[in-house]
Chain A
């Protein structure tokens, strides 16, 4: 599976949503109720390093078991140091793939989230380039 990158977000727009305080009140509700509610800036929570975050679209179902499906949108952060267990975008044979990074005891491999896909182990002399770490995945449902 592979993904086609799209140029970065240069500014993270603010998407404000009202966080609703659900309480049961006795007596007359205050018209100023909404004033106390805090706002959630949705994108702020989904992006850590705006200048290093890129949008990629997923193709294929090799990462199903991790909740990543075909057509999902990934926010990939290139400023996070990749660690064992991170879901990463890697450059494999000059193509982007998204896989789970396995890094233990000096050995490194990429694992899929689908039993029909084999582990990717770099051969002697081959380099595995981790391009970025997947921080967020966005799924849009088909409403048509």
Chain B
């Protein structure tokens, strides 16, 4: 018997544990070199941001919609 545990919007949820001020806001986490969105909060999904959306195409949303984009921090989330 195996149990599989999956976390919603995982990288964003990790960042929110240490920065609760991100709760309730549109937040995305970007891939290496800030390439594209690899995690989106529910609020960011509601803005229509698709998985893998290139950052250069949506960076204007930081101004217009208060989108918070965070660089990947794999070491913090437990990967080495």
A residues lining the B interface (CB < 8 Å): 5, 7-8, 10, 54, 91, 94-96
Contacts and interface: CB of A to CB of B under 8 A. Distances in A.
Query: Is chain A's binding surface mostly helix, strand, loop or mixed?
Result: strand
A10 B77 CA distance: 11
Interface in B6-64: 18-24
B23 A7 contact: no
Task: Report the contact-size class of chain B (Cβ under 8 Å from the partner).
Answer: 10 to 19
A94 B76 contact: no
Contacts, number: 18
A94 B18 contact: no
B44 to A, nearest CB: 17
B1 interface: no
Contacts of A5: 18-19
B20 A7 contact: no
B3 interface: no
A38 B80 CA distance: 34
Contact of B20 (A8, A10, A54, A94): A94
A79 B4 CA distance: 22
